A and B are shown apart, each in its own frame.
Chain A
Amino acid sequence: SQKIEQNSEALNIQEGKTATLTCNYTNYSPAYLQWYRQDPGRGPVFLLLIRENEKEKRKERLKVTFDTTLKQSLFHITASQPADSATYLCALEAPGGSSYKLIFGSGTRLLVRP
């Protein structure tokens, strides 16, 4: 079955540094991958979508890469700020088709120290 792995340990970094989060997947080849931010007690918020034929996508301080050979996506936040502290989830389209279902990783918690 499909498996999505995100580092379950919290990532703790200093304000101003670049945060890099990893999402690895196995057993299939999704056409696209998405990243979401989730704050405690809230629903996730969509950040970025990257397609299988795109190597990299940027949005303001965010950058996502998608390596279909390694089956890995990296999510970068440059010039990180304490307000970036949250849990970041990667999500892949579920295999099999037309229902546009997503499978979510367990998320990585990011803590940005002032």
Chain B
Amino acid sequence: GAVVSQHPSRVICKSGTSVKIECRSLDFQATTMFWYRQFPKQSLMLMATSNEGSKATYEQGVEKDKFLINHASLTLSTLTVTSAHPEDSSFYICSARTSHSYEQYFGPGTRLTVT
């Protein structure tokens, strides 16, 4: 149980374009979903927290107009990187939690490369 999927697993896009990443909880309803980014050999940095049906809460320093998050249902959240630039190249990982547990269940991650 507690499986989270992400799509796509890898994406290469040109500078200036937008990329959408999907995060789904497959066998449970996710009260809250989180989006992280991770640079090589570094830890996960939380970008934003999203609850179904409400606006995402962004961490300090994360541009909400650049990283659009939509949490339309209890099983789906999307992250759209708008007007991507090479410095946005990173490993993006989502996670989800239920209302009755503290642990987070992570997706397999999406490797974004902006050329």
Contact = CB atoms under 8 A, between A and B. Distances in A.
Interface of A: 32, 34, 36, 41-46, 49, 89, 93, 99-107
A106 B42 contact: yes
Contacts of B4: 43
A104 B43 contact: yes
B102 A99 contact: no
Given A43-B108, A44-B95, 4 more contacts: A42-B108, A42-B109, A44-B106, A46-B104
Interface of B: 4, 6, 32, 34, 42-44, 46, 49, 57, 91, 93, 95, 97, 102-109, 111
A34 B103 contact: yes
Report, nearest first, the 8 A-B pairs whose CB atoms are least far apart: A43-B106, A106-B43, A46-B103, A104-B43, A104-B44, A43-B93, A43-B109, A44-B106
A100 B106 contact: no
A99 B49 contact: yes
Nearest to B93: A43
Contacts of B32: 99-100
Query: In this complex, which of A43, A44, A99, A102 has the most chain B Cβ atoms within 10 angstroms of its Cβ?
Result: A43
A100 B102 contact: yes
Contacts of A32: 102
A41 B57 contact: no
Contacts of A93: 102
Contacts of A100: 32, 97, 102
22 contacts: A41-B91, A41-B111, A42-B108, A43-B93, A43-B95, A43-B106, A44-B44, A44-B95, A44-B106, A45-B106, A46-B103, A46-B105, A49-B102, A49-B103, A89-B43, A89-B44, A93-B102, A99-B57, A100-B32, A101-B46, A104-B43, A105-B43
A44 B43 CA distance: 11
A97 to B, nearest CB: 12
